[in-house]
Amino acid sequence: MKPTTQFPRVYFNDLHRMPYQEAWDLQMDLHAATVARKKANRELVKTGTTPGPQHHHLLFVEHPPVYTLGKSGSVDHLLLNEDQLREQGFTFHKINRGGDITYHGPGQLVAYPILDLDEFFNDVHKYVRCLEEVVIRTCADFGVLAERDEGFTGVWLPGDPARRQPRRKICAIGVHLSRWTTLHGFAFNVRPNLTHFNNIVPCGINDADRAVTSLSVEVGRPIELAEVKPFVKRHFQEVFNFSWAEPTTAV
């Protein structure tokens, strides 16, 4: 279905710090509403009535420490047992996104787009590449060269064998689509506690020449999420070519 305006309209909401389950419940509510609106608009088209605008959403959030396991992942990649998780203050969730296990926590910018791709493009691979592009452009704004890595989803920094520096992952991506409407998104390491990745096999990748990094580590100074968010938000709009719905804080 083509959008009823020149550009799709996206509502933006910065949730700030929110527990994973609470944010997941909000995603599901927004996803259900988006799919319901799609169905209603299709019925209007059948009767010759002009459909109303679709409501797309972009959520920013920072989670308390949590490990999440995608539907194609292995629980063996979580290196802590239930008691250790509880003692160290972590929660754990099995979810329906693609990919393996990853970590979310303070200092990491998590972005959840809930987009009806019928109004953008019906191409899952292109969607993932666009998410990567948003982060690649943001890294460039901070003078960090980031890139895609064939065969590995996410955003990476090139290694330097001469300096014994491995390839480093700065952003993990895991998505799920239902009725061409997106869930989940990406986790951009801005200033997280990187030692928390030691409790998992990140994204199921256990190669000696690959590691996890953050924007703060690569730039060489502490970077707060508030400094990064405007860049990420702007690049989302550029890459996906939409207009912001007003008010931009509405859900």
- Which residues are tagged catalytic? 203
Phi then psi for residue 117, to 5 deg, are: -65, -10
* 31 in Cβ contact with 181 (< 8 Å): yes
Instruction: Label the pairing between strands 108-114 and 101-104.
Output: unpaired
Angstrom CA distances, 81 to 72, 77, 88, 91, 199, stand at 20, 11, 11, 11, 10
Cα Rg, the chain, nearest whole Å: 19
- The C-alpha angle 88, 93, 98, rounded to 5 degrees, equals 130
Distance in angstroms (rounded) separating the CA atoms of residues 234 and 232: 5
